[in-house]
Chains A and B, each alone.
Chain A
Amino acid sequence: MTLRKILSLSTLIAIIAGTSCERVQFDPDIDELNERLPVVDAVLGNHPDYKTITLTRTAPYMDGTEVEKIENALVKVNGPSKSYIFDHQKDGIYQAPENFAPVTGGTYNLSIELEGQVYEATSTMNPPVNIDTLLVDYDRWEDPQDHIYEVTGRVKDNESEGEHFIFKYAVNEFLYDSTSVWSHYTDQLTNNTWLDDAIIFMNIEAQPGDTLDVFGLSISEVYYDFIQAAEKNRIGHNPFSPPSGIPITGNISNGALGIFQVSAIVQERLFIPEEDENRE
């Protein structure tokens, strides 16, 4: 057999082998629990879109049941100088009063009274991330015809060490509010350093002319760990590892889940460029 034939055969076999990697749906026979623990989703900030707290309950993992909303709680946030009562609007969403305007450096205490139990948490609003410039362009890994975009920017943390941030985006004011699309960033390796051309988002589906709002939130280490744990559970330590089974630990007392976070928020609006402009 000639070398050419050997290589042809090898290539064919390699293709067969390569296509054998696949995902197969199966029933893992999970021992699901049916406890209904309170869950607090309270990310607040100095931005009009961050004035609500959502209260729900846990649900069995795989059965598809809707999470139950908590509509009968008394929700209060005590700021450095004032207390704020959050009123229930609908579907477990509690709205801050108009005068709720958290300030950098301020410490806020959350208190939720529910069915005779009190759930509490504390958060301090850290300084905002510094954004010098943001640019939107075609995602470098995708075909431009697919209209998939990335956002890069020149950003910097502040002088103090141990700062953490997350970035979210909204296309045409629709917020993609899932941990899987957020970016998170710590100053552990690059404290007080301008990061040029930092890749903030990739794989954004949009069309030329769409608005793209980028939100930068300063967050606590606890919330940063919470998001990291969520991400590790989603993708594992590497693409070939199973979910890591890392508990996603928040900061709510008395056995409730979730997070209370008060953030300094910066928003930048970008426009998806028309095709001709973008190609430059």
Chain B
Amino acid sequence: MINFGNKKRSRYFADLFNKNHFRSRLMRTRIILFFLVGLLFTAHSQNDVTISGYVKDKDTGETLIGATLYIQELQAGSVTNAYGFYSMTVPEGKYTIQYSYIGYQNQVIEVDLTGKQTINIDLAPKSIELNAVEIKGRARDHNIKSTQMGMVQMDSKTLKNLPVLFGESDLMKSIQMMPGVQSPVEGSSGFSVRGGAMDQNLILLDEATVYNPSHLMGFFSVFNADAIKDVTLYKGDIPASAGGRLSSLLDVRMRDGNKKEFQAEGGLGLISSRLTLEAPIKKDKGSFIISGRRTYADMFLRLSSDSSINQNKLYFYDLNAKANYEINSNNRVFLSGYFGKDAYGYADDFGMNWGNATLTARWNHLFSEKLFSNLTLLYSKYNYQVEINQGTPDYDWTSYLENLSAKYDFTWYFSPSTTIRFGGQAIRHFIQPGRFEVSNQASDYKVSDNKAMEYATYVLAERKIGDKLKIDAGLRFSAFQNIGKATVYRIDDNFEVTDTVNYGKNNIYNTHTGLEPRLSARYLVDEKNSLKASYSHTYQYIQLASNSTSGTPLDVWFPASEYIQPQVCDQLSVGWFRNFDNNSYEASVETFYKWMDHQIDFEANSNLMLNDQLEKEVRFGKAHSYGLEFLLRKNEGKLNGWIGYTWSRAWRNFPDINNGKEYRANYDIPHNLNIVLNYQLSKRVGISSAWVYKTGAPITYPSMRFRHGESSLPIYTDKNNARMPDYHRLDLSVIIKGKDKPERKWEGEWHIGLYNAYNRANAYSVQFEEDPDTPNKINAYKMVMFRIVPSVTYNFKF
């Protein structure tokens, strides 16, 4: 039963009408529907035939995401989807088709199409001599031809080449080198996209949500580069097939495993080692991959004779596994999972651990050569546990959230110029925000569980109109329902609890819905120039209870409710894309403006952990951000890399925070410049460098002080009224490959890195302390986390 409640309903409609939102929402929805319907009415000839198939790596059988086929005679092409599948409908005839993928040799075939035809293509990777340091990825002119904008793509080779902290390749740090992506704290895996909050990024690993992407307090990400095939970050133009977060979608796809032969690779690093094994289950039909990592600093700590050191533990490990099997040409199944854990503690006195687990089961089915489907079952979990055994009684503090989801996606290659995607998803959320157990005592404290269902259905049409114009129009309908058993607190204007309402088990006591139109368009000025524009409207129904800048492992997620409205965002972006020198250089300029409503912040001194009345701490407001992003990228040649610059601002306005005055968001970093350069000195030696500069992150500095007892306490005026010192850093790395001997299967390479090569004292945080010698004097200190950090890693493959 849906119980809106009178107050809720009246507030809902007041919100819709009084702000004139309803009319504009209706108008936007009508426009999108108009496009969708218009795109469907497309006639095509009875003599059309369809070619379809998969594009794979010739050596490993791995499917290639975003590979292109191009038919010279028609000057038309198509792109493989996330499973390497393509389909294209063309008039009967003889054609020359070129298949290409950056980092691979092109393959050209000639076909005489008189009926539907399946053509599977194996592309051979370029040799080192041919490839130099070429970055693998989409088609060379994909950035010009696609409608997609606000997108960052990275493959595993790019990730592994970048110089990184401690020599551990890190996806999250690497994407922070791209325009529009900010990290307010050094070394953090958390990131902000175009002025959005960290919890407004949907992070998917093989479509399963990863709730905390960090290991070791954020210094490492949960993504093992050896297990990753492809990474795509959507900064604004999120496809209608995805939703649930306002700012971005980080779509990480795991490798399928080698379908041809057994292969092992790994690395011995400064603080961690990793090993990946992959092999065919049945040659060319199926394969598996298992990839694991573990840090071992704790093992060295045990060697210390100092008991305060040797009883410490601090480590993480993670495991990725995936298997796939081609049942027949129309059916493929995939099973993949991730399990990771961090542990921190001292002897038996204190222990803390946290980690993610995901499981993905997928079934690709071809209903016809024109209708591709993917059924996915997903499970995600994040949990943490804190144990304190120092005294009597012992304490045990646990929290977890998990979701179970089913998703069915269809791609209908409707006509030569129109592709339609549609599908739906249902997610069951379960959140246990915290349980505090005291051993041998009847005083356990448990924060109420949160149960909810989230549903979405979408349709997305991609339509070429003439040679120049391409439009993607999508509409997503999402719904969110809170489900009992639950205790709901009614809050008054002073944020005090006025009433407590209990709902029975499985009682649907609150429903939110949202229509999310998405529209993007590309106008091809010429083969090297395109203009793009996009608009998206997104909803977010769960969020993170955190008032720290970088997040902690103990942060918990909480859902929209009767009291907490879903977060909403409108984003408009426009961009110009230009390639030079036969697509060797890509350049782009994008500008965006985001309006975010029902934003959440917290009362200044709020206690967000183990808080059963979190609603009292929540404050609501608006946010907006805007910016310009420049990117110049060279993908091939001995010298390659990119220069990315972002100018952006991010503001928040909450009636109950900062005396109602607008203030800078924590991730308001106006200037951000990244220069990444790779140079291949010889067949065996390559060097990479990355330089980053960014304005210091906002911080709240005190303006005055007062005495209380012997303490000198700060007085603050405006929130985020100052900035940390500006940040810049140069990282260098050298990759030395072993001598190439045809008879030897073992391939080895050394990665020697230097993080913060010129030893800059960047501020990780700022602290104030009373001067020990001069009464009343306060000194400011910046905490420098990483000066120059050398690293060495030996990677091998056989």
Tell me which of A1, A61, A225 has the highest count of chain B C-beta atoms within 10 A of its own C-beta: A61
Contact residues in A for B445 (Cβ distance below 8 Å): 188-190
Task: Say if the beta carbon of A230 comes within 8 Å of chain B.
Answer: yes
Report whether B707 and A28 are in contact in the complex, using a CB–CB cutoff of 8 Å.
no
Contact with A along B697-711 (1 / 0, CB 8 A): 001111111111111
Task: Report the interface size for chain B: residues with CB under 8 A from the other chain.
Answer: 80
Task: Say if the beta carbon of A49 comes within 8 Å of chain B.
Answer: no
Contact with B along A243-271 (1 / 0, CB 8 A): 11111110000000111000000000000
Q: Which residue of B lies closest to A9 (CB)?
A: B792
Q: Contacts A26-B725, A178-B710 known; A229 to B605 CB distance under 8 Å?
A: yes
Report whether B790 and A16 are in contact in the complex, using a CB–CB cutoff of 8 Å.
yes
Report whether B713 and A233 are in contact in the complex, using a CB–CB cutoff of 8 Å.
yes
Q: Contacts A39-B707, A178-B710, A188-B445 known; A241 to B548 CB distance under 8 Å?
A: yes
Measured in the bound complex, the distance between the Cα atoms of B11 and A113 in whole Å is 46
Task: Say if the beta carbon of B270 comes within 8 Å of chain A.
Answer: yes
Report whether B711 and A17 are in contact in the complex, using a CB–CB cutoff of 8 Å.
no
Measured in the bound complex, the distance between the Cα atoms of B182 and A191 in whole Å is 44
Contact residues in A for B441 (Cβ distance below 8 Å): 190, 193
Report whether A242 and B699 are in contact in the complex, using a CB–CB cutoff of 8 Å.
yes
Contact residues in B for A17 (Cβ distance below 8 Å): 166, 270, 786, 789-791
Contact with B along A2-17 (1 / 0, CB 8 A): 0100100111011011
Report whether B715 and A62 are in contact in the complex, using a CB–CB cutoff of 8 Å.
no
Closest beta carbon of chain A to B148's beta carbon, Å: 37
Contact residues in A for B710 (Cβ distance below 8 Å): 176-178
Q: Contacts A14-B270, A58-B704 known; A25 to B781 CB distance under 8 Å?
A: yes
Measured in the bound complex, the distance between the Cα atoms of B747 and A67 in whole Å is 69
Give the segment of B205-213, B578-586, B671-679, B772-780 that binds chain A: B772-780
Measured in the bound complex, the distance between the Cα atoms of B710 and A176 in whole Å is 8
Contact residues in A for B329 (Cβ distance below 8 Å): none
Closest beta carbon of chain A to B358's beta carbon, Å: 26
Contact residues in A for B708 (Cβ distance below 8 Å): 39, 41, 179, 230, 258-259
Report whether A242 and B719 are in contact in the complex, using a CB–CB cutoff of 8 Å.
no
In B683-703, the 8 Å CB interface with A consists of 699-703
Q: Which residue of A lies closest to B186 (CB)?
A: A240
Measured in the bound complex, the distance between the Cα atoms of B783 and A29 in whole Å is 17
Contact residues in A for B777 (Cβ distance below 8 Å): 62-64
Q: Which residue of B lies closest to A235 (CB)?
A: B767
Which bucket holds chain A's interface residue count?
35 or more
Partner of B391, one of A61, A199, A233: A199
Contact residues in A for B443 (Cβ distance below 8 Å): 189-193
Contact residues in B for A133 (Cβ distance below 8 Å): none
Q: Which residue of A lies closest to B165 (CB)?
A: A17
Report whether A31 and B701 are in contact in the complex, using a CB–CB cutoff of 8 Å.
yes
Measured in the bound complex, the distance between the Cα atoms of B699 and A54 in whole Å is 32
Q: Contacts A9-B792, A257-B715 known; A59 to B783 CB distance under 8 Å?
A: no
Measured in the bound complex, the distance between the Cα atoms of B437 and A190 in whole Å is 10
Tell me which of A13, A197, A228, A258 has the highest count of chain B C-beta atoms within 10 A of its own C-beta: A13
Task: Say if the beta carbon of B283 comes within 8 Å of chain A.
Answer: no
Contact residues in B for A229 (Cβ distance below 8 Å): 604-605
Task: Say if the beta carbon of B455 comes within 8 Å of chain A.
Answer: no
Report whether A243 and B768 are in contact in the complex, using a CB–CB cutoff of 8 Å.
yes
Q: A: which residues have CB within 8 A of B? A: 1, 3, 6, 9-11, 13-14, 16-17, 20-33, 35, 37, 39, 41, 43, 54, 56-67, 140-141, 152, 176-180, 188-193, 195-199, 225, 228-230, 232-233, 236-238, 240-249, 257-259
